[in-house]
Structure 1
Amino acid sequence: MGDLSRAGLAAAWQRLSPNHRGALWMIAASAGFTVNSAFVKTLSSEGLDAFQIGFARALFSFAALVPFCYRAGIGVWRSKAPGLQAVRSISAGLAMVAGFYAVGQLPLAEFTALTFTLPLFVVLLAVLMLKEQVRWRRWLATLAGFAGVLIMVRPGAAAFDPAALVALASVLGIAVAVMLVKKLPAGESHVTMLIYFCLASIAITIGPAFYAWQWPTAFQWLLLAAVGFLGVGSQAMIIRAYRIGEASFVAPFDYLKLILAGAIGFLIFAEVPDFWTVAGAGLIVASTFYIARREAAQRAASAAPPAEKSLHP
């Protein structure tokens, strides 16, 4: 009976279009990342240091990768550009620790909204690092997104929390890592990228983690393991989502994180977003959504045959 059920589910899954399968992977990844942030916030509220949480996250994530490393063989440990991988992994590891600190200090919905500034930083870094040409519409959308950040964090106001700047620094670190991924040679394995990230994160966090070490309770060990396995699992689901579906169709489903974060923040942490958080988050989401749509349209135009391109001046 169980085999029949699994066969039926597999058949139903295959009947879905690639875009809808990609969307479901993205929804699962968004839920995973949001729950992960809630776990980190819980651990932080109980006194565990961001470096300790980051060390455990990297260690348990690496443990989750071991079976895939064994199956892929020794070649998965070798990068075609080890120096670039190292810099990318260090940037991502530092961003992880900064994000863990920020999520422990900020309301969950506010932290999640600030993470949506990633496409804004990517636009800036694409100009600086890749010398890409950005047209005025994307510049306006980028400026509108950063205006949303100012509305949300209100620098100079009594309610300003410096942890918001740490959250933005975390996003900037992730954006640098994204840009460096684009510079990696074609064919670089995603498992190789995850291995480098875990090893770099362990190296970054191990010293500060043991300096600030607080021996976890059994429940905290369970949460730390969940943060590691859920973190790497959510990363894998994001990769699967973009591999299966079209980016322009799949990407908007990531915005479900904001709804989930608001619900979890209210139900578990008794957090109620204020007007400025909602207004700033709305502007950030609108600007990043517009940027994603423009990039999808430009990719479609560049991939179209010459005769078809001539119809779209």
Structure 2
Amino acid sequence: MALFLWMSGALASFCILAIGARELSGELTIAQSLCIRSAIGLVFLSAVYFIRSQIFKDKQQKSLASQPRVNVIKLHLFRNVFHFIAQYGWFFGIGLLPLAEVFALEFTVPIWTLLIASFFLDEKVTMNKLIAIFLGTLGVIAIVQPGYALIDYASIIVLGSAICFAISHTTTKSLAKTESPLTILLFMCIVQLPIGLFLSLSSWVWPQGEQWLWLTVIGLSALSAHYCLAKAMKYAEITTIITLDFFRLPLIAMVGVFFYNEAFELPLLIGGALMLIGNLVGVRGLTAKSIKVKQNI
């Protein structure tokens, strides 16, 4: 139950993040948006982290003291370099491609994650996972109905960002074994802030009025999304988490219907149904595995 609650929070937060990115597209440089997002997140998260550390005398920090911190920090750096590249490509795609096409390309992430996790985290590639990913991919194709026009340089960049997201997700899963979600998020802001600042200095323009509102939305929703995702990763394997993430496409499509007057079409229903079936198959495999573990105990 906890897995689905955390994933629901992650899905809602990622949808809000996409809306904010769409509203700011073309108004500020991507690097500047990512820089300010990190700054807002760092201010908010530092306050939360400080309060938490004062109220709860972390048992987790004591256990982390015995860990090889240099290696952990290197892993944080590795994760956030790839995550920054992935976010940059994602924002870039939103500015040049229809939102549905960007999401369709982004949802190749489960395929890349499945391959990367199987090689580097020794996660088993089960039939349930393969079926869930296959049906989810069919759902994406049914909704977007991509054509040959999809293959251009912007699409290649978004596909590259999908691979970087997969590397980032896999590294997050590895970090989640020893690091708290707050620590993962704090490092995300600390590492990505100077990268964004360096890349945006030559074209820096101070945001005005409503732009600050959307930057705040992006900053807080990004924190919420990654916090929920990191918490969810404590309850399931990375490939299961990413499979559940397929729900994000029909959700953002519904946002388009109600807030941007986009057409509600039959392919959306068909694609959503395929994704739902795929997720139910994945959940069934996860539940069966949990029951088996309890019986062995």
TM-score, normalised to structure 1's length?
0.71
Deviations 1:181-226 (A, max 9, x none): 3434843222221111112211322222223333322110221122
Shift of 1:274: 7.1
Deviations 1:139-178 (A, max 9, x none): 45545655666674746x1354543443333332222122
Alignment partners' CA distance in 1, 2:296 and 2:13: 39
Does 1:129 find its partner at 2:109? no
8 Å contact kept, 1:117–1:284? no
Which of 155, 179, 203 is the aligned partner of 1:212? 203
Alignment partners' CA distance in 2, 1:22 and 1:291: 13
8 Å contact kept, 2:93–2:102? yes
Does 1:30 find its partner at 2:11? yes
Which of 145, 155, 167 is the aligned partner of 1:176? 167
Q: Is there any run of 5+ residues in structure 1 with no aligned partner, and where?
A: 1-18, 307-313
Alignment partners' CA distance in 2, 1:263 and 1:121: 26
8 Å contact kept, 1:23–1:250? no
Does 1:61 find its partner at 2:41? yes
Q: Is there any run of 5+ residues in structure 2 with no aligned partner, and where?
A: none
Alignment partners' CA distance in 2, 1:135 and 1:24: 24
Shift of 1:56: 1.3
8 Å contact kept, 1:138–1:291? yes
Q: Tell me, what secondary structure is at the counterpart of 1:158?
A: helix
Does 1:90 find its partner at 2:70? no
5 Å matches for 1:1-313? Answer: 19=1, 23-44=4-25, 46-71=26-51, 72=53, 80=69, 81-135=72-126, 138-139=129-130, 142=133, 145=136, 152=144, 154=146, 157-158=148-149, 160=151, 162-184=153-175, 186-239=177-230, 257-272=248-263, 286-287=277-278, 290-305=281-296
Shift of 1:279: 6.2
TM-score, normalised to structure 2's length?
0.75
Q: Structure 1 pair 273/202, CA: closer, same or farther in 2 (3 Å)?
A: farther
Q: Structure 1 pair 137/224, CA: closer, same or farther in 2 (3 Å)?
A: closer
8 Å contact kept, 2:112–2:166? yes
Counterpart AA for 1:68: V
Alignment partners' CA distance in 1, 2:35 and 2:93: 16
Structure 1 range deviating more: 76-85 or 255-264: 76-85
Alignment partners' CA distance in 2, 1:65 and 1:174: 22
Q: Which has the larger radius of gyration?
A: 1
Shift of 1:25: 5.0
Deviations 1:102-126 (A, max 9, x none): 2333333443454444333221112
Q: Tell me, what secondary structure is at the counterpart of 1:35?
A: helix
Name the % identity.
24
Alignment partners' CA distance in 1, 2:97 and 2:264: 11
Alignment partners' CA distance in 2, 1:210 and 1:138: 44
Q: Structure 1 pair 84/250, CA: closer, same or farther in 2 (3 Å)?
A: closer
Q: How many residues in Structure 1 have an aligned counterpart in Structure 2?
A: 285
8 Å contact kept, 1:119–1:291? no
Alignment partners' CA distance in 2, 1:64 and 1:142: 36
Alignment partners' CA distance in 2, 1:252 and 1:144: 10
